[in-house]
Amino acid sequence: MKNKFQCNLTRRRFNAGLVAAGVGISVAGLYDFNDDNEQSADGLLSLTENGKIYIHSGGGHLGLYAHENATGIVKDVLNSNAQHFVINYGKNPTQLPNLLAQHSNHLSFSSQKTNLKAAEILKEELKKEASVLLGGKAADYRIENGYAINAFSKISFAEIARQCSRRVVDADVSNKTYKLINELNVRGIIVAVGQAV
């Protein structure tokens, strides 16, 4: 005869309890709000005078190797090798603070999407600036290995950054992203894209 306080715990009940607890913890973790009660996976890129593109989003706290999904897309869109990029990983003051508590697939996908959009905008800005500096139409330029190139000439990312002083292109970003943009001491092009875009 069982004691009335004894727990009748079968393997099935134990496993179901673990799954329920795991789901509860995972879902709660998705709602990690920052000081402004915002949660976002904004995309933020900056091109500086040294010709490097700094990736400020998607590079930290995404889980093992997940940053490759979020940052590799930028390299693909801008058709340039790794030497032209600097990834700001977590705990770096210039990495977006909005992304400190991330739960793999959820924010990895969001960061990949916003970084893709930011890279596409930066690509168009590079082509546009090259056409202003060298002549011709922006559509005639292609981006390749740190240069904007047309049929007759080419200009480096570094030269473009030096010529355009400081330009910020942003779309619907969070307050914390705006704050970081203002703190960045960048002469060049800054592109920020909100998670909602």
pLDDT at residue 67, as a whole number = 53
Host domain of residue 161: 36-193
- Mean pLDDT per block of 10 residues along the chain (197 residues) reads 51 50 42 45 88 79 53 88 80 52 53 86 96 94 95 94 89 83 89 77
Give the span between the Cα atoms of 150 and 127, in whole angstroms: 9
Q: Which helix (H) or strand (E) holds 149?
A: strand 147-149
CATH number for position 110:
3.30.365.10
Q: At residue 163, what are phi and psi to the nearest 5 degrees?
A: -75, -30
Residue 59: the pLDDT is: 60
Pairing status of strand 188-193 against strand 43-47:
antiparallel
Q: Please report whether residue 103 resides in a domain.
A: yes
Question: Which segments of the chain does DSSP mark as H helices, in order?
Answer: 11-30, 67-77, 105-134, 157-163, 175-183
187 assigned to some structural domain = yes
| Alpha carbons 180 and 96: distance in angstroms, whole number | 7
Does any domain span residue 25?
A: no
- Residue 2 in any domain: the answer is no
Q: Is residue 177 part of a domain?
A: yes
* Total tally of structural domains belonging to the chain: 1
Neighbours of 128 (CB within 10 A): 17
5 found inside a domain: no
Q: How many of the other CB atoms lie within 10 Å of CB of 10?
A: 8
Please check whether residue 111 lies inside any domain of the structure.
yes
Identify whether 55 is part of a domain.
yes
Pairing, β 147-149 against β 154-156:
antiparallel
